[in-house]
Amino acid sequence: MTKVLLANIDAPGQRKIEKYRERGGYRALEKALQMEQSAVIEEVKTSGLRGRGGAGFPTGMKWSFVPRNTGKPTFLLCNADESEPGTFKDRLLLERDPHLLIEGMAIAAYALDCHLSYIYMRGEFGFLTETVESALEEAYKAGLLGPSVMGRDYALDMHLHLGQGAYICGEETSLIESLEGNRGYPRIKPPFPAVSGFLASPTVVNNVETLAALPWIITNGGSAYAAMGTEKSKGTKLFSVSGHINKPGTYEVELGYPLMDFINNESGGMRSGHKLKAVIPGGSSVPVLTASECEGVLLDYESLLKAGSMLGSGGMIVLDETTRMPETLSVIADFYAHESCGQCTPCREGTGWAAKILRNLITGKGKKSDIDLLLKIADMMEGKTICPLADADVMPIRSFVTKFRSEFESLCST
**Judgement on whether residues 28 and 90 belong to the same structural domain of the protein:** yes
Domain boundary among 181, 197, 226: 226
Q: What is the CATH classification number for the domain harbouring 271?
A: 3.10.20.600
**Judgement on whether residues 196 and 284 belong to the same structural domain of the protein:** no
Burial profile 307-345: b = 16 or more Cβ within 10 angstroms, e = fewer: bbbbbbbbbbbbbbeebebbebbbebbbbbbebbbebbe
Q: What is the CATH classification number for the domain harbouring 369?
A: 1.20.1440.230
**Judgement on whether residues 212 and 254 belong to the same structural domain of the protein:** no
**Within-domain flag for 320:** no
| pLDDT attached to residue 214 | 98
Per-residue pLDDT tens for 188-212?
A: 999 999 999 999 999 999 999 999 9
Per-residue pLDDT tens for 24-73?
A: 999 999 999 999 999 999 999 999 999 998 888 999 999 999 999 899 99
**Judgement on whether residues 25 and 100 belong to the same structural domain of the protein:** yes
| pLDDT attached to residue 272 | 86
Q: What is the CATH classification number for the domain harbouring 156?
A: 3.40.50.11540
DSSP 8-state symbol, 314 = -
215 close to 100: Cβ distance less than 8 angstroms: yes
**Judgement on whether residues 143 and 269 belong to the same structural domain of the protein:** no
List residues bridging with 254 in a β-sheet. Answer: 236
**Within-domain flag for 9:** no
| pLDDT attached to residue 310 | 96
**Judgement on whether residues 220 and 306 belong to the same structural domain of the protein:** no
Please report the DSSP string for 156-185 in residue order.
BEEEEEE--S-GGGGSHHHHHHHHTTS--P
**Judgement on whether residues 36 and 132 belong to the same structural domain of the protein:** yes
**Structural domains counted in the chain:** 3
**Judgement on whether residues 48 and 104 belong to the same structural domain of the protein:** yes
Closest CA to 328 of 396, 259, 402: 396
The span from the CA of 229 to the CA of 234, in Å, is: 5
**Within-domain flag for 62:** yes
Low-confidence ranges of the chain (pLDDT < 50): none
Full domain range(s) for residue 285: 236-312
**Judgement on whether residues 159 and 279 belong to the same structural domain of the protein:** no
**Judgement on whether residues 95 and 242 belong to the same structural domain of the protein:** no
| pLDDT attached to residue 40 | 98
**Within-domain flag for 2:** no
**Within-domain flag for 6:** no
**Within-domain flag for 4:** no
| pLDDT attached to residue 328 | 98
Domain boundary among 255, 281, 312: 312
The tally of CA atoms less than 13 A away on the side-chain side of residue 169 is 28
**Within-domain flag for 7:** no
How many CB atoms sit inside 10 A of residue 120's CB? 22
**Judgement on whether residues 147 and 174 belong to the same structural domain of the protein:** yes
**Within-domain flag for 390:** yes
**Judgement on whether residues 294 and 335 belong to the same structural domain of the protein:** no
Domain boundary among 178, 204, 226: 226
93 close to 100: Cβ distance less than 8 angstroms: yes
> Strand, helix or coil at 1?
coil
